Amino acid sequence: MYQLIDFTEMGDSRGALVALEGGVHIPFDLKRVFYVYGTKGDVPRGCHANRKTKFVLVSVNGSCTVTVKDGVNDVDIVLDNPTKGLFLDKMVWKEMHHFSDNAVLLVLCSEPYDKHEYVFDYDEYLMEIRNESNL
């Protein structure tokens, strides 16, 4: 469902750097990258699952909470460190919320954007994962 990933930080008196490579530090080849910023703290983002895409979320600045659901378990994970990533497998429901004023959430994706692979209705999501587990 999810896994926290520790990234190696390099730095000296000039500052810090985290380098990420798909297939090395990220458990898939990168096909898309985007970032979320300027989100008001009480406004939720995400609120969907993806049929094909896997993600790694990194709070490169500030913090946010990610609620991860698999139809049975709900887990809240606080992202507040640019050396930590949150891997989310496909067909995991995700909701990002409680963004700090300065939050920048970097999102690394295994697939290019395809609007048809998104599941925005939670009841539909539950039905799909139950059908998938009965195959």
Of 67, 63, 60, 69, whose CA–CA distance to 41 is shortest? 63
Residue 67, class by beta-carbon neighbours within 10 Å (0-12 exposed, 13-18 middle, 19+ buried)?
middle
Catalytic entry in 48, 97, 98, 116: 48
Q: What is the DSSP annotation of 8-32?
A: PEEEETTEEEE---BTTTBSS---E
Q: Is 48 a known active-site residue?
A: yes
- The residues that are catalytic are 48
